[in-house]
Amino acid sequence: MRVVIAEDDVLLREGLAGLISRFGHEVVASVGDAAALPDVVREHRPDVVVTDVRMPPGFTDEGLRAAIALRAQSPLPVLVLSQYVEQTYAAELLESGDGAGVGYLLKDRVGEVAEFVDALTRVAAGGTVVGPEVVRQLLRRRRSALQRLTPRELEVLGLIAEGRSNASIARELVVTDAAVAKHIASIFAKLDLPPTSDGHRRVLAVLTYLDA
Amino acid sequence: MEFLGSRWPWRALGYLASSALLCGIVVLVAVGIGSLEHVGLRVAAGLAVFGLAVPFVGLFERWRLTWVDTTASRTVTHNTSAPTPTHPASTEAHSRPDRPSRGRSALEWRVAGAGLASLLVLSWIDVIMFGLTVGGPVLLVLTPVVQPPEAIAPGPAVVVAVGSLLLVPAAVYTFTAWAGARGAMLRGLLGGRDAELDEVLRSRARLVDAFEVERRRIERDLHDGAQQRLVALSMRLGLAKLDLPDESPAKEQLALAHEEAKHALNELRELIRGVHTPVLIDRGLPAAVREAAGLSAIPVDVDVVIEQRPATAVEVAAYYAVSESLANIAKHSGAHRASIRARIHAETLTLEIEDDGKGGADPAHGTGLIGLSDRLAVVDGTIAVSSPLGGPTVVRVDIPVT
């Protein structure tokens, strides 16, 4: 997997590069500000970009904007690391490119190195990854629309939003795959999601949370 | 009765008597000008003297206002001071729309206005009041002396004199009340307490600005410094764990250290969020309000339509109002649902925060609402709370955006 890193803090940038390399992936370039990102991406055509939200020059949300802009041009997988859970940012990012190949994680998550690299791989493969902290906060929103769901269904939906597969959800909740599939079908029905492709509906179900 | 013995009647008396002095001077000057031969000359001299006198009369009015109003003297000092220096820090985050400064010239106009009102109307009323309330009773008391015996017999004259002594307290109340009312009118004309409040508010606004700059600096320092270091530390600890064999004591210790680092990061993040809300500065009020609503324990409907971003100070004050109100709702209202509505209309940002709780919120109790109104006051904002027992509670905040 070929990775581009955008992170303004030198120590963190090098740490990330070391971490990703250690798991056998290649960091083709790393930049310290968002402005440099488009050129580097055009030059190296990475499989995935890891970017910080707040970067020079304005130290607001440059990294996030750059990621969204890049995804508007081509379906580039992007994993955004943020110091905070900002619903606005998360929703904007996950809406870009239909929510495929995108991730929003709290920066702390890089401490769980194996999980972090796993998330990066899933994003590169076109998956949607939303950190548990992000999901928890987003779940608090939109309670009205979600009132129709049972607690168990909410739990399942939370795990879907984390990008888990049915099998992984079944393991987590210690139930059968069939039970998970039943819950998911019920969630889709209650959220009025039409039966198109399953993967797309999963994303839509997640977006239902985000898009209050 | 206590009042009659106090110094106030005497002050009022002196105040009105000094008007008589003023009117006397006016009459003398008028007679002098009237003796000039040429009519045109009379008119010109009259206008010139009048024009010259007005500001001085105004200053005189301002000075003698202290006789009937103890706060006036301080007001005047504040008002004449040089234009307020801007705090250096406030230039960076100065966000507060500048209040049109009531500079020296505005004050001069006010003083001239007071002089004009005094010369044309007020002082003459003073003389009449003085005549009625002081001259009248005195004449009545002196009936036996001043009235010729053929007009009134000596016996009844003494009865009138003694009886009219009872009029004195009524007269004292009357002229003191008039002097007080007149003082209030002039204070209004001179922009008395208003101007003082203005200065106090301005200095508080500077303080709030300075605090705001400082909070942003602290937030940025923590974000770029401690928080990044802790993330890097957590990452290194996570990597180190990979290299150690499972079940080894070192790995156990390392895992504990890793947990500690994660706790520290969580605490730091909460701390930083309390210091400053980045999304407010980055994305403005609508996004920040949605964010705050999302963090609320109860569902909050958000309806915020603000097309142009107001000044940062206005946004910060409005955001503060929203987060305080949501905290109050969570703590006290027992509500199941809340809503936030915000619009800018006629240069005013209006926020309405409503909940379906039990009502009975009293601004006089608990510091939340008072702190909120203090904070709003520095941006000229106002807060109104309607909270009948049984609810619903509506908090309405208005902040001028220009």
Question: Which of the two residues, A199 and A171, has the higher pLDDT score?
Answer: A171
Question: Average of pLDDT values for A90-107?
Answer: 82
Token pair, residue A30, equals 């790393």
Final residue belonging to a domain, choices B248, B275, B302: B275
The answer on B159 and B248 residing in a single domain is: no
Residue B203 lies in a domain: no
Beta strands in B201-296 (DSSP E): none
The answer on B222 and B140 residing in a single domain is: no
The answer on B159 and B301 residing in a single domain is: no
- A42, pLDDT greater than 90: yes
Whole-angstrom Cα Rg for chain B: 34
Best mutation target among A12, A54, A88, A146 (most B Cβ atoms within 10 Å) is: A88
Question: Which of the two residues, A62 and B362, has the higher pLDDT score?
Answer: A62
* The total number of structural domains that make up chain B: 3
Residue B195 lies in a domain: no
The answer on B283 and B256 residing in a single domain is: no
The answer on B265 and B240 residing in a single domain is: yes
Q: What is the per-residue pLDDT across B272-300, written as a single tens digit (0 to 9) for each?
A: 877 777 788 888 899 889 888 877 878 88
Question: What's the confidence (pLDDT) of residue A143?
Answer: 52
Question: What's the confidence (pLDDT) of residue B194?
Answer: 59
Q: What is the per-residue pLDDT across A133-186, written as a single tens digit (0 to 9) for each?
A: 777 666 655 555 566 788 888 888 888 877 778 888 899 889 998 899 888 888
| Residue numbers of chain B with a pLDDT score lower than 50 | 72-103
Question: Which of the two residues, A132 and A40, has the higher pLDDT score?
Answer: A40
**Are residues B220 and A59, on separate chains, in Cβ contact within 8 Å?**
yes
**Are residues A108 and B236, on separate chains, in Cβ contact within 8 Å?**
no
The answer on B295 and B161 residing in a single domain is: no
Lookup result for tokens 């629309």: A145
Mind telling me how many Å the CA of A154 is from chain B's nearest CA?
16
* A112 contacts on B by Cβ (under 8 Å): 238
- Residue B235 has its nearest CB partner, among A15, A59, A212, at A15
Final residue belonging to a domain, choices B190, B222, B249: B190
The answer on B155 and B31 residing in a single domain is: yes
Measured distance CA(A105)–CA(A134) in Å, rounded: 7
Mind telling me how many Å the CA of A176 is from chain B's nearest CA?
30
Q: What is the ipTM of this complex?
A: 0.72
Residue A19: pLDDT band (50, 70, 90) is very high
Question: What's the confidence (pLDDT) of residue B264?
Answer: 92
- Residue A83 has its nearest CB partner, among B223, B262, B291, at B223
Residue B256 lies in a domain: yes
**Are residues B235 and A110, on separate chains, in Cβ contact within 8 Å?**
yes
Question: What's the confidence (pLDDT) of residue B68?
Answer: 77
Percentage of residues in chain A having pLDDT higher than 70: 84
Residue B320 lies in a domain: yes
Residue B322 lies in a domain: yes
**Are residues B290 and A143, on separate chains, in Cβ contact within 8 Å?**
no
**Are residues A18 and B261, on separate chains, in Cβ contact within 8 Å?**
no
Longest pairwise C-alpha distance within chain B: 131
The answer on B152 and B248 residing in a single domain is: no
Best mutation target among B230, B231, B241, B268 (most A Cβ atoms within 10 Å) is: B231
Measured distance CA(B36)–CA(B27) in Å, rounded: 15
* Average pLDDT along chain A: 83
Q: What is the CATH number of the domain that holds B330?
A: 3.30.565.10
**Are residues A108 and B266, on separate chains, in Cβ contact within 8 Å?**
yes
Residue B308 lies in a domain: yes
The answer on B266 and B284 residing in a single domain is: no
B385 contacts B393 by C-beta, under 8 angstroms: yes
Token pair, residue B100, equals 């049109």
Residue B222 lies in a domain: yes
**Are residues A11 and B229, on separate chains, in Cβ contact within 8 Å?**
yes
The answer on B224 and B184 residing in a single domain is: no
Lookup result for tokens 């008391």: B141
Question: What's the confidence (pLDDT) of residue B86?
Answer: 37
Taking CA atoms, B182 is separated from B9, B175, B254, B269, B375, in Å, by 14, 10, 81, 59, 35
B330 contacts B369 by C-beta, under 8 angstroms: no
Q: What is the per-residue pLDDT across B300-356, written as a single tens digit (0 to 9) for each?
A: 888 999 988 998 889 989 998 998 899 888 888 888 899 999 999 888 999 999 999
- Full residue range of the structural domain in which residue B361 is found: 278-400
Mind telling me how many Å the CA of B373 is from chain A's nearest CA?
28
- Residue B235 has its nearest CB partner, among A83, A113, A137, at A113
- Residue A83 has its nearest CB partner, among B227, B235, B281, at B227
* B227 contacts on A by Cβ (under 8 Å): 83, 107
Question: What's the confidence (pLDDT) of residue B201?
Answer: 66
* B242 contacts on A by Cβ (under 8 Å): 22, 113-114
Q: Give the SS3 label for residue B87.
A: coil
The answer on B175 and B43 residing in a single domain is: yes
The answer on B368 and B315 residing in a single domain is: yes
What single DSSP character describes residue B306? -
Question: What's the confidence (pLDDT) of residue A26?
Answer: 96
Mind telling me how many Å the CA of A51 is from chain B's nearest CA?
14
Mind telling me how many Å the CA of A3 is from chain B's nearest CA?
18
A31 contacts A40 by C-beta, under 8 angstroms: yes
Best mutation target among A22, A84, A137, A144 (most B Cβ atoms within 10 Å) is: A84
Question: Which of the two residues, A48 and B160, has the higher pLDDT score?
Answer: A48
Residue B204 lies in a domain: no
Question: What's the confidence (pLDDT) of residue B92?
Answer: 36
Structural domains of chain A in order of their starting residue, each with its CATH number:
2-131 (3.40.50.2300), 141-210 (1.10.10.10)
Which residues of chain A approach chain B closer than 8 Å at the C-beta? Answer: 9, 11-12, 15-16, 18-19, 22, 54, 59-61, 83-84, 86-89, 107-108, 110-114, 137-138, 140-141, 143-144, 212
**Are residues A113 and B265, on separate chains, in Cβ contact within 8 Å?**
no
**Are residues B223 and A144, on separate chains, in Cβ contact within 8 Å?**
no
B4 contacts B168 by C-beta, under 8 angstroms: no
